[in-house]
Each structure stands twice: as C-alpha cells, then as structure tokens.
C-alpha cells in the first residue's frame, strides 16, 4: 500500500484534487479513482501522457543501471548528490519528490539518511516496479513529469532530479515558499571516452547557462558544484553504460559496440541548488 497521506493529486485534466487512499484505491472527491498495484505503486498516467504503452525506460535499461551501481560505478555521484540533499535544513517528515526517479537509488538513499516522506515519479513502470522492490518505504508513482506533476500546490519541501526530468514551472508550483530544487545533469565530459570510442567523436555539451536561465523566473540560485569519478571498465560494463544512456539501442553503431575494449571512463555531473524565489 501507499504510505499515509502522500500529497498526490489527481491527474485528470482540470481536476488536480487530493487523492485519498481508500484500501487498494486512490480517489479524489470528484470520483476519479486509481488502483494501487499489488506491489504498492500507483499508475497516474492519463492516455495523453504517453505516446506508447512502453513509455519510459525499458526493463533492460533499468537492469543495466542497477548492475552498474551494484558494482560501484556511479556510486560516488549518487552519494555526493544525496549528501547535499541530506545536508539541507529539512524538518522530520519533510516531503521530498524526485522526478525521473528511475530505480529509486537517490530517493531511497535519502530516505535512509533522513526522516522524510518520499514520492518518486517516473514514466517507466519497469523503473517504478524495481524501485518499490528495493525501497518499499517510499511512495512510487508512474506519471509524466514533463506534464502537470501529480502533486498538490505548495506541498513539497524538496524536489530532486539527478539525470532525470526538469519542469521548472511545475516544480515552483508544488514547492513550499521555502522549498529547494536540487538538479544534477551530465557534465561536459561525462562518458567522453566512451562516446569517442562508439561515435567516433565526443561533443562536450555545456548546459550551464541554459539550465540556469530556464529556472531563474521561479528560483534563486544558491549553489553550483560538480561531482566526478573515473572507472576502468570491461566491455560488459561499457555496454551497460550505453544501455543506460539510450545509445546502446542504436543499431547503426553495433559494430563499434561489439569491438569495445577495456576503457577508463569519466563520469561527471554538474549540480545546481535552487530555492524558491517567491
């Protein structure tokens, strides 16, 4: 079952009312109802929220990321991101939502470190099903974070997004007036060695100005920093990295993928901490 009274909102267009848990069903006062899956998550997707029935990460991508993290690949990035979130002045029971929560490792680790009420949101049922098995004390929701977030106005103390979705206007709507937004995106040289090996070149994308600009209408920038790690990886782990970043599905690159040799790879994440500005 879902945890008591999470601030979930109905996703039917023009509704947005609080969803109350009544046994294995969530309902709003207008009578819209959502069944809670036997494993405990709830699917709040509406037909217009996805283009296919297999929306979001495939099971293979979720499994690949899980294998990598279990082997310690990317653990420094996750731990550093979680540590910054845990250091914030959160009261006991603070509501923390994660967008693009994937397998749940970030929110699950924060829930282990701090007494929070966590709500993880992802478009992939495979990712959410994985997350609830690993972290059953967190509320997990299938929803499209690019659209209206399934959360009540001013109900969230902290929103997280590590290599996940970003929706500044909606984050501003659901955050409290003293709320925080912690975002991590791939750095300029993230996986640069792997990208050069597979694609023949590695474009270094700098997202800093664009990301800051898209959030400033609603947020004030508090801090920026970077998290980095390097790993010497065997071909199987390199393929998992490709699966986890969608490049593994490119059939045109199959010959180069099959020819991968052991490689030292850089993992880099740039992090922004914002607070609500109004």
Q: Where are the domains of the chain?
A: 55-276
Helix (H, G, I), strand (E, B) or coil at 133: helix
More confident residue, 30 or 2: 30
Which of 21, 97, 122 is CA-nearest to residue 10?
A: 21
pTM across the whole model? 0.92
Beta strand pairing call for 94-99 and 156-162? parallel
- 4-45 tens-digit pLDDT: 568 999 999 999 999 999 889 999 999 999 999 999 999 999
Supply the pLDDT for residue 50: 64
**Does 246 or 48 have the greater pLDDT score?**
48
For residue 249, what pLDDT is reported? 47
The answer to whether 229 and 68 are in contact (CB under 8 A) is: no
Q: Is the pLDDT of residue 247 over 80?
A: no
Give the mean pLDDT of 185-191.
92
What is the pLDDT at residue 11?
Answer: 96
pLDDT for residue 116 is more than 90 = yes
- Alpha-carbon distances of 72 from 68, 90, 230, 233, 238, rounded to whole Å: 6, 28, 11, 11, 13
Count CA atoms within 13 Å of residue 263 on its CB side.
Answer: 21
Alpha helices in 35-91 (DSSP H): 59-70, 75-86
Per-residue model confidence (pLDDT) at position 259: 76
- The whole-angstrom distance between residue 126's C-alpha and the CA centroid of its chain comes to 14
Query: 55-276 falls under which CATH superfamily?
Result: Vaccinia Virus protein VP39 (3.40.50.150)
Check pLDDT > 70 for residue 57. yes
Tell me if 66 sits within 8 A of 237, measured CB to CB: no
């Amino acid at each position: 079952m879902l945890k008591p009274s999470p601030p979930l909102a109905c996703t039917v267009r023009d509704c947005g009312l609080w969803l109350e848990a009544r046994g294995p069903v969530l309902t709003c006062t207008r009578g819209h109802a959502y069944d809670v899956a036997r494993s405990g998550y709830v699917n709040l997707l509406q037909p217009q929220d996805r283009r296919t029935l297999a929306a979001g990460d495939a099971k293979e991508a979720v499994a690949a990321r899980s294998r990598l993290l279990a082997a310690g690949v990317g653990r420094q990035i996750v731990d550093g991101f979680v540590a910054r979130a845990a250091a914030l002045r959160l009261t006991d029971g603070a509501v923390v939502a994660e967008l693009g929560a994937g397998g749940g490792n970030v929110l699950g680790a924060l829930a282990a470190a701090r007494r929070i009420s966590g709500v993880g949101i992802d478009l992939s049922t495979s990712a959410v099903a994985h997350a609830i098995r690993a972290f059953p004390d967190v509320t997990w929701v299938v929803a499209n974070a690019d659209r209206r977030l399934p959360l009540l106005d001013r109900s969230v103390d902290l929103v997280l997004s590590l290599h996940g979705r970003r929706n500044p206007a909606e984050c501003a709507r659901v955050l409290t007036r003293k709320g925080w937004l912690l975002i991590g995106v791939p750095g300029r040289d993230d996986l640069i060695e792997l990208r050069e090996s597979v694609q023949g070149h590695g474009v270094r994308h700098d997202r800093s100005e664009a990301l800051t600009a898209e959030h400033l209408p609603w947020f004030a920038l508090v801090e920026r920093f970077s998290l980095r790690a390097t790993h010497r990886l065997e071909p199987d782990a390199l393929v998992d990295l490709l699966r986890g970043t969608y490049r593994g599905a490119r059939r045109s690159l199959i010959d180069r993928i099959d020819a991968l040799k052991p490689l030292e790879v850089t993992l880099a994440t740039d992090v922004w901490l914002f607070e609500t500005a109004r």
